[in-house]
Amino acid sequence: MFRAKVALAAYAHVRHLVSNKKNREKVKTIGKTLIFLLLIITVLASCKSFVSSPTINPTVETQAVIPTATFTVMLLPSPSQLPFIETTTPIPQSSSIPISGTPTIITMENGLTWVECVAPIEDYAHSVEDQEFASRCLNMEIPVWDDNDRRMTGEWTAIATVTSNNNAVFQHVVGNDVYLIKQEGTNGCCDYEFLKNGKVIFKTQIPLVAASPFQHHFTIDGKAVWELLTDPPTILVDGVDYNEKNQLEGIFKPYAIHGKLIYIAKQNEKYHIVYNEEIIGPEFDEIYIKYCCATTDVRYGKGQYLFWGKRDGIYYVVGIR
């Protein structure tokens, strides 16, 4: 309605001007101006109609998407929450053997080869070791005894046993040598005598333990080697207690490679591999040894020695041959 009134008033004014000949030139100018004004009025009316129209849907706001994406990023775990496999493991400083995802092989001057692999993280004191992993990574079979090992250990025979007071006599023949172990029960159980060809070469008293205190006997490099599960475990070499001789806190799992004695020694709460009376390789915080109730054990046979250990927070499986 407003636009119609404006248009009629403008038309009447134009007719008045046209009737006057002198004002014709002005009419042309005014006509152009009116046309321009009419266009502006039309545009403004259209805009007003667009804004106020309830039938037009509002524009979709992309802001609703952007905050959602930003919120998702903020919820990602921080580096401290990442799984342990993403955490860098500290490199051991006490070992000269580098950590590697592949076997580390060290050829030693004594003729032995030391091979080790970083092992999966497990509770090896209470879980069975992964022998397939060890065999594949070390490129060696899990050691078992062969005929040479059985000849080195000979054969034990119980020749007298009295169960009422734990008395017993065991005979062991290796080549031309005859060894006897005499066990006599006491209140704490038991007193032992070790004889070679009828001669007493060692006496000791061992408290009652869950596993047999007498573990193995070898003839190595012409010497009789007994493994005894005392407190602490030890070995006797021709009657000499090597714990006392070398001031050790325990000796475990003796064997022979190339005719020379190898065993695990504990000293100052650390574990070492001793071969031919010399420490070889790095020290370990733990080496897993089974006597009675553990699961992971040291394995040896066919001139090879295999164990699982831990040093500087990293687990290893080691093969020596």
CA gyration radius for the chain? 47
229 and 241 Cβ atoms separated by less than 8 Å: no
Q: Indicate whether 142 and 282 sit together in one domain.
A: yes
Last residue of a domain, one of 41, 56, 87: 87
Q: What is the pLDDT of residue 182?
A: 86
Q: Indicate whether 248 and 136 sit together in one domain.
A: yes
Q: Indicate whether 140 and 272 sit together in one domain.
A: yes
Q: What is the pLDDT of residue 204?
A: 82
Q: For the segment 70-98, what is each residue's pLDDT rounded down to a tens digit? A: 323 333 333 332 222 222 233 333 344 44
pLDDT tens track, the chain, 321 positions: 544 444 444 444 444 444 444 455 554 555 555 455 545 555 444 444 444 433 333 333 333 332 333 323 333 333 332 222 222 233 333 344 444 458 999 999 999 999 999 999 989 988 888 999 999 999 999 999 999 999 898 777 878 766 666 788 888 887 788 888 888 876 667 788 888 899 998 888 877 666 667 788 898 998 889 898 888 999 999 889 999 999 999 999 999 999 999 999 999 999 999 999 999 999 999 999 998 887 899 999 999 999 999 999 999 999 999
Q: Indicate whether 241 and 311 sit together in one domain.
A: yes
Q: What is the pLDDT of residue 28?
A: 52
Q: What is the pLDDT of residue 203?
A: 86
Last residue of a domain, one of 61, 87, 113: 87
284 and 310 Cβ atoms separated by less than 8 Å: yes
CA nearest neighbour of 194 among 246, 230, 221, 145: 230
Q: Indicate whether 78 and 142 sit together in one domain.
A: no
**Residue at 244 is within a domain:** yes
Q: What is the pLDDT of residue 187?
A: 65
Q: What is the pLDDT of residue 32?
A: 54
**Residue at 316 is within a domain:** yes
Report d(CA 305, CA 221) in Å as an integer: 18
Other Cβ atoms less than 10 A from the Cβ of 7: the count is 13
Q: Indicate whether 137 and 268 sit together in one domain.
A: yes
**Residue at 247 is within a domain:** yes
Lookup result for tokens 């704490």 = 188
Q: Indicate whether 109 and 79 sit together in one domain.
A: no
**Residue at 144 is within a domain:** yes
**Residue at 172 is within a domain:** no
Q: Indicate whether 141 and 222 sit together in one domain.
A: yes
Q: Indicate whether 117 and 265 sit together in one domain.
A: yes
**Residue at 225 is within a domain:** yes
Q: How many domains does the chain have?
A: 2
**Residue at 268 is within a domain:** yes
Report d(CA 265, CA 270) in Å as an integer: 8
Q: Indicate whether 75 and 216 sit together in one domain.
A: no
Q: Indicate whether 47 and 130 sit together in one domain.
A: no
Report d(CA 82, CA 90) in Å as an integer: 17
Q: Indicate whether 27 and 131 sit together in one domain.
A: no
Beta strands in 229-285 (DSSP E): 234-237, 240-241, 250-257, 260-267, 270-275, 278-284
Q: What is the pLDDT of residue 318?
A: 98
Q: What is the pLDDT of residue 173?
A: 83
Domain of residue 290, residue span = 104-153+210-320
Three-class DSSP category at 225: strand
311 and 273 Cβ atoms separated by less than 8 Å: no
